[in-house]
């Protein structure tokens, strides 16, 4: 039986440490105006970047929930 | 145990037909390669969809099938980790690195190093990059040769030589344009083949009761830990989350930021926005597909081995898993397609690397140091010779890799030694104005020395492993994953220390090359202040005019064209703006197109006026309408 910490720690580390890297990058591009939000195309790409991060997190979380709560007793099938 | 596997005659027919088809395809597109710009970058003219698909084929090598099916077969969905943890540095890639290299018109990453730092840093970067890519060529060829040798009894070196020779032919003749289009075809085959095994696996698990039951059984037979999309946090020692996380932090970074093969795809885009779209399509749409393509066969194999161990031995060696699972699920003919997919994966990775190596050899060594000021035709000839030499060099490395105990060890041996110092120097160079040319050189040098030290004395990696609760004693002590974190820290510390004792380049000399000067880069790219007024695309016909005194070019040797006043208004373009002119058939993806500078409008109702040399350079067809858009 794997522990809850062992199960959830990778997700927390991935989006904790990875999230810090992401936020540092985002802060730098906004402060330096490499992403200039006065420009429509840059606003679009900023939305894409943040949305992409949310999408990846959502997919990972969804697979976690499916793994733990849909057919939780893995190792046996039907038929 | 690996079961006895044979190719049926129909399998051989499929494989031979595939080889012939891909060779013809590559040779056909070789006619669009007329200059070194075409040879290396495809003329900077392509659409995002075509670049993203060919990029996928470059990312998915034959080693990917072997490596990730192995991981999927043994550990389940956590084999997807490496493909789904790249988003963290997308802000830097999208808003900083792509604009910097695109607007700076650099032809290689080492060239960026010379302009941002100095010639010494460029040479060091070129050397490390060449070692990295040559190693990749050898490793990729070696992986498939190993599979062919183990399962079909083909001599390892002979198998590698034949594959390398065929790949070398269309690269040498066709260059980047041939690569982009053959990789596009190979990407389709990869997706079809990978999905085919997964779907057939689900149907097998359905045991005749249909796809839905198969899907239910797939999920039910996987134990919970195999359903989690991440490996155990710090164990087992040969496949754990935190090790893969840090190894990938360096390897994936280098893949997208420094790997000349992928950089050349971004530079082949018709505009910077199109390069961004390429990244988006690749990361958000195609990479998740790639996860299923390369890992999916292992996932279904994992469930099948639990449901029907008499059909698939749970103890099947990992390196053989893909071929064994494909052989179990596929009928003759389809199995041939799977083997062809493995070969396609190899060719599409190797061709990109060989072309990239050739680019570095010409752009960073031959042209600036050995033979400056020669004709473009001469450089194109030498580029083709270098492609042949690089292919032979990669093949020679097969003998070296064959001395390692496993393909994993061979892979880690060269990537861990080369990638972290390069990653650190690029990050500092693009983000930190104060970062000095000397610091860039010493970052790479210190990092490389530290890599050598860490192989001689692996104990130096222990503190980084202990910090994450990993085993640091006995046979379970395996430092190869966390070596990346060790080298990132050592290289970074070295770079920071040297920076404070050396002099940075004046800001005026690095305009457009770091995060705070993207606007300057845009202006340099265009040759005048950028215009951000947004217009619409215009479709019109060509009017070829005889140019008195030769072809009309601006000071940057770009073609000059003129449009009607109405078309200029629709485009929101002014004289001096940069236009992109392409055959109106979108499915061509930009193969018939060119960039040109807008002249003051002509007085006719419509039509694009240009001289014949522009038509030839853009591979345009005079009777075909063109679609025009303003780039900047």
The top-scoring range by mean pLDDT among A13-22, B320-329, B396-405 is A13-22
Rounded to whole angstroms, how far apart are CA atoms B348 and B265? 13
Total of domains in chain B: 2
Smallest Cβ–Cβ distance between B219 and the set A13, A60, A71 belongs to: A71
Which tops the pLDDT comparison, B212 or B251? B212
What mean pLDDT comes out for the span B346-366?
Answer: 79
Check: CB of residue B428 under 8 Å from CB of residue B495. Answer: yes
Least confident of B77-81, B293-297, B357-361: B357-361
- Of all residues in chain B, what percent carry a pLDDT higher than 90? 26
Torsion of Cα atoms, B435 then B439 then B443 then B445, to 10°: 160
Q: What percentage of chain A reaches a pLDDT higher than 70?
A: 87
User: Exposure pattern of B19-50 as b/e (b: 16+ CB <10 Å)?
Assistant: beebbebbeebbebbbebbbbbbbbbbbbbbb
How many angstroms separate the CA of residue A38 from the nearest CA in chain B?
A: 11
B352, B382, B412 — which closes off a domain?
Answer: B412
Any B CB within 8 A of A48 CB: yes
B113 contact A CB<8A: no
For the segment B296-316, the average pLDDT, to the nearest whole number, is 92
Q: Which residues of B576-600 are buried (b: 16+ CB within 10 A; e: fewer)?
A: bbbbbbbbeeeebbbbbbbbbbbbe
Annotate B286-347 with DSSP letters as a single string.
IHHHHHHHHHHHHHHHHHHHHH-TTTS-TT--GGGHHHHHHHHHPPTTHHHHHHHHHHHHHH
* Rounded average pLDDT over B552-574: 86
Residue A56's domain comprises: 28-68
pLDDT single digits (tens) B481-536 = 788 889 999 999 999 999 999 999 999 999 999 999 998 998 888 888 888 888 89
Distance from CA of B546 to the nearest CA of A (A): 39
Does this complex have an ipTM over 0.85?
A: yes
pLDDT at B475 over 60: yes
Q: Which of B210, B199, B212, B208 is nearest to B330 (CA)?
A: B199
Q: Tell me, what's the pLDDT at A79?
A: 42
Is B163 inside any structural domain? yes
Alpha carbon distance B192, B178 (integer Å): 21
- State which residues form the domain around B615: 538-630
In a domain, A50, yes or no: yes
Per-residue pLDDT reduced to its tens digit, B429-444: 999 999 999 999 999 9
Q: How far is A46 from chain B (nearest CA, A)?
A: 8
Within a domain: B3: no
- Distance, CA of B389 to CA of B516 (rounded, Å): 40
* Residue B325 domain flag: yes
Residue B230: CB atoms within 10 A of its CB come to 29
Residues 491-550 of B with CB under 8 A from A: 515-516, 518-519, 532, 534
Q: How far is B331 from chain A (nearest CA, A)?
A: 24
Residue B504 domain-assigned (yes or no): no
pLDDT at B158: 79
What tokens does B80 get? 């997807």
Residue with tokens 């061709």: B351
Tokens coding B632: 């900047």
Among candidate residues B391, B412, B433, the one where a domain is terminated: B412
Q: Please check the confidence at residue B174 and state whether its pLDDT lies above 60.
A: no
Is residue B526 assigned to a domain?
no
The closest CB to that of A10, out of B99, B233, B534, belongs to: B233
Q: What residues in A contact B77, CB-CB < 8 Å? A: 63, 67
Determine whether the interchain pair B276/A79 forms a contact, defined as Cβ–Cβ distance below 8 Å.
no
Check CB contact of A41 with chain B, cutoff 8 Å: yes
B95, B272, B289, best to mutate vs chain A, most A CBs in 10 Å: B95
Question: Does B93 map to a domain?
Answer: yes
What pLDDT score was predicted for residue A16?
95
In a domain, A42, yes or no: yes
The answer to whether residue A17 sits within a structural domain is: no
B151 occurs within a structural domain = yes
The verdict on a CB contact (< 8 Å) between B284 and A52 is yes
Predicted confidence at residue B499, as pLDDT, reads 96
pLDDT tens sequence across B135-153: 888 877 777 777 777 666 7
Q: Number of structural domains, chain A? A: 1
Q: Which SS3 state, helix, strand or coil, does residue A28 take?
A: helix
Stretch B333-349: mean pLDDT:
78
Helix pair B119-152, B260-267: axis angle to 10 deg: 110
The answer to whether residue B570 is domain-embedded is yes
Both structure tokens of B139: 């490793």
Instruction: Report the phi/psi class of residue B254: left, alpha or beta, with left for phi > 0 and alpha for psi in -120 to 50.
Output: alpha
Residue A79 in any domain: the answer is no
Residue where a domain terminates, one of B412, B446, B474: B412
Tell me the mean pLDDT in the region B278-283: 88
Shortest CA gap A49–chain B (Å): 6
- As given in the structure block, the two tokens for residue B106 are 């650099």
Assigned domain for A62 exists? yes
Cβ burial of B241 (10 Å; 0-12, 13-18, 19+) is buried
Compare A44 and B193 and report the one with higher pLDDT.
Answer: A44
Of these ranges, A45-49, B11-15, B264-268, the one predicted with the greatest mean pLDDT is A45-49
> For position B261, which CATH number holds?
1.20.1730.10
* B254: number of Cβ within 10 Å: 22
């Amino acid at each position: 039986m794997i522990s809850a910490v062992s199960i959830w720690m990778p997700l927390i580390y991935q989006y904790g440490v990875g999230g810090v890297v992401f936020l540092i990058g985002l802060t730098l591009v906004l402060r330096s105006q490499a992403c200039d939000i006065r420009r429509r195309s840059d606003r679009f790409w900023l939305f894409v970047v943040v949305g992409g991060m949310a999408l990846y997190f959502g997919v990972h979380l969804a697979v976690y929930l499916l793994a733990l709560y849909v057919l939780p007793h893995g190792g046996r099938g039907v038929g | 145990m690996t079961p006895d596997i044979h190719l049926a005659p129909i399998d051989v027919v499929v494989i031979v037909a595939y080889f012939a088809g891909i060779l013809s395809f590559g040779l056909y597109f070789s006619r669009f390669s007329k200059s070194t710009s075409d040879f290396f970058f495809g003329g900077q003219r392509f659409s995002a969809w075509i670049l993203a698909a060919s990029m996928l084929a470059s990312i998915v090598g034959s080693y990917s099938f072997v490596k990730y099916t192995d991981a999927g077969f043994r550990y389940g969905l956590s084999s997807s980790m490496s493909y789904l943890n790249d988003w963290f540095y997308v802000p830097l890639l999208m808003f900083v690195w792509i604009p910097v290299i695109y607007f700076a018109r650099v032809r290689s990453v080492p060239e960026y190093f010379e302009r941002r730092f100095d010639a010494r840093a460029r040479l060091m970067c070129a050397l490390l990059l060449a070692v990295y890519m040559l190693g990749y060529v050898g490793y990729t060829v070696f992986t498939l040769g190993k599979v062919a040798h183990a399962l079909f009894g083909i001599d390892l070196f002979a198998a590698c030589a034949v594959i390398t020779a065929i790949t070398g032919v269309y690269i040498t003749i066709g260059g980047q344009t041939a690569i982009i289009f053959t990789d596009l075809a190979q990407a389709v085959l990869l997706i079809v083949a990978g999905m085919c095994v997964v779907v057939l696996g689900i149907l097998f698990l359905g045991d005749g009761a249909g796809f839905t039951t198969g899907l239910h059984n797939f999920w039910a037979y996987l134990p919970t830990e195999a359903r989690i999309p991440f490996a155990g946090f710090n164990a087992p020692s040969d496949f754990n989350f935190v090790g893969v996380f840090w190894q990938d932090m360096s390897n994936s970074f280098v893949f997208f930021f420094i790997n000349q093969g992928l950089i050349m795809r971004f530079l082949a885009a018709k505009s910077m926005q199109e390069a961004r779209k390429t990244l988006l399509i690749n990361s958000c749409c195609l990479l998740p597909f790639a996860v299923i393509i390369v890992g999916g066969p292992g996932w279904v194999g994992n469930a099948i081995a639990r449901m029907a161990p008499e059909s698939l031995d749970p103890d099947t060696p990992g390196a053989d898993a893909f071929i064994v699972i494909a052989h179990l699920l596929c009928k003759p003919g389809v199995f041939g397609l799977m083997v062809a997919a493995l070969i396609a994966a190899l060719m599409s990775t190797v061709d990109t690397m060989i072309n990239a190596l050739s680019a570095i050899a010409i752009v960073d060594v031959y042209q600036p140091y050995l033979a400056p000021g020669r004709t473009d035709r001469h450089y194109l000839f030498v580029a083709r010779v270098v492609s042949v030499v690089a292919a032979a060099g990669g093949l020679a490395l097969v003998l070296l890799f064959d001395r390692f105990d496993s393909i994993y060890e061979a892979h880690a041996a060269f990537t861990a030694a080369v990638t972290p110092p390069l990653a650190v120097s690029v990050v500092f160079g693009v983000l930190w104005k104060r970062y000095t040319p000397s610091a860039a050189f010493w970052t790479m040098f210190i990092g490389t020395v530290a890599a050598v030290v860490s192989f001689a004395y692996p104990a130096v990696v222990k503190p980084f492993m202990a910090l994450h609760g990993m085993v640091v004693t006995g046979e379970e002590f395996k430092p190869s994953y966390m070596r990346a974190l060790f080298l990132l820290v050592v290289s970074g510390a070295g770079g920071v220390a040297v920076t404070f004792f050396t002099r940075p380049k004046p800001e005026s000399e690095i305009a457009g090359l770091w995060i705070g000067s993207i606007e300057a880069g845009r202006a340099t790219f265009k040759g005048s202040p950028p215009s951000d007024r947004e217009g619409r695309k215009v479709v019109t016909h060509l009017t070829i005019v005889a140019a008195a005194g030769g072809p009309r070019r601006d000071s940057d040797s770009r073609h000059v064209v003129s449009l009607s006043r109405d078309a200029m208004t629709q485009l929101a373009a002014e004289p001096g703006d940069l236009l992109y002119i392409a055959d109106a058939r979108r499915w061509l993806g930009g193969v018939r197109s060119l960039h040109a500078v807008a002249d003051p409008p002509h007085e006719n109702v419509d039509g694009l006026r240009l001289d014949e040399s522009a038509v030839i350079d853009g591979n345009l067809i005079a009777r075909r309408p063109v679609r025009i858009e303003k780039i900047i």
